[in-house]
Amino acid sequence: MIPILELRRQSDVIAKLLLLETAPLDIFWLGLRKLHVLNLKNGLKNVGLPSLIIAQQCLDQNLELWIFDKHFKIMSGFTELKLLQIKKSFRPSSNLRKGLSF
């Protein structure tokens, strides 16, 4: 994400992102495979490897996920995945949306 923000010269957003607490990345391949099978059994197809890694990290480290992607919300219905509750009225500013879109 940061390289895209650098290209767009959004140093204010980068500075704020770098202040966020991070968690170590520890990929557990068997867990990823089990999560993928669980997704398929629940009709959730086309979840990519990056999303599986993110979900698995949150599940393993008991982290709350702040994301708007629909497939994470669906996964939270049949896993212990915790999603940060964001008010429906929340709308990122247009500059933030431009800076964080891919």
Interval 35-59: pLDDT, tens: 999 999 999 999 999 999 999 999 9
Domain residue ranges in the chain: 24-100
Residue 101: per-residue pLDDT: 45
2-36 pLDDT tens trace: 889 999 999 999 899 899 888 889 899 999 999 99
Q: Which amino acid appears at position 101 of this protein?
A: S
Using DSSP bridges, classify how beta strands 82-83 and 64-65 pair: parallel, antiparallel or unpaired. parallel
Q: Which amino acid appears at position 12 of this protein?
A: D
Residue 95: per-residue pLDDT: 52
What is the distance between the alpha carbons of residues 50 and 44, in angstroms, rounded to a whole number? 15
Handedness of CA 39, 22, 27, 1 (dihedral sign): positive
